[in-house]
């Protein structure tokens, strides 16, 4: 059951604060791990997080931008994660084929939220251009800086993982 053995994780504590308050208010036991903002901080924390996640029901809370029209914040879950820096996404750079395989996120069905595909990049993108040869439906795409570094490690160790991202903006300069 998801209410047992919970490990709540986020890049920054403010992303998890409302959930922590609800868990405390309802006397639900949990552990919390803050892995740091950006892919480098996340990668540096990943091994320690993997150890903490062993046998836990992990709930990963984060924020991200959308490639589709943004009207107001909403929550979504994740089914796939790709390492896709801005230049590669725009067709201006290329990694070796299959250097970074896509991560498929097991679906727990604990939360009924729309499913999105995450493109993880090394920084916040100021351009939302997408090479449509690679992604034909930008409406399902979101951008997050830490997901690729974290999710693969957690999947290996955790009993379950739920990724809940708050879509807070459109990808781009605004």
The pTM for the full model equals 0.92
Paired with 75 in beta bridges are 166
Which pLDDT tens digit goes with each residue over 86-135?
888 888 888 776 778 899 999 888 889 999 999 998 888 888 887 756 66
Q: Take residue 132 and report the two structure tokens written for it.
A: 């449509």
User: What's the gap between Cα 106 and its chain centre?
Assistant: 13
Lookup result for tokens 């929550």: 75
Whether 56 and 31 have beta carbons less than 8 Å apart is answered as yes
Which pLDDT tens digit goes with each residue over 46-59?
999 999 999 999 99
Residue 173 has pLDDT above 70, yes or no: yes
């Amino acid at each position: 059951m998801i209410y047992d053995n919970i490990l709540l994780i986020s890049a920054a504590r403010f992303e998890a604060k409302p959930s922590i308050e609800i868990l405390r208010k309802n006397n639900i036991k949990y552990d919390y791990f803050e892995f740091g903002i950006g892919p480098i901080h996340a990668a540096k924390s990943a091994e320690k997080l993997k150890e903490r996640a062993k046998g836990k029901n992990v709930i990963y809370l984060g924020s991200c931008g959308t490639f589709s029209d943004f009207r107001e914040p909403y929550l979504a879950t994740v089914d796939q994660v790709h390492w896709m820096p801005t230049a590669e996404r725009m067709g201006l750079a290329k990694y070796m084929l299959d250097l970074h395989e896509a991560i498929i996120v097991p679906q727990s069905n604990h939360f009924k939220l729309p499913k999105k595909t995450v493109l993880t990049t090394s920084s916040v993108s100021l351009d939302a251009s997408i090479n449509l040869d690679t992604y034909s439906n930008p409406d399902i795409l979101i951008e997050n800086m830490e997901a690729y570094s974290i999710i693969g490690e957690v999947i290996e160790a955790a009993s379950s993982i739920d990724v809940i991202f708050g879509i807070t903006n459109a990808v781009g300069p605004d």
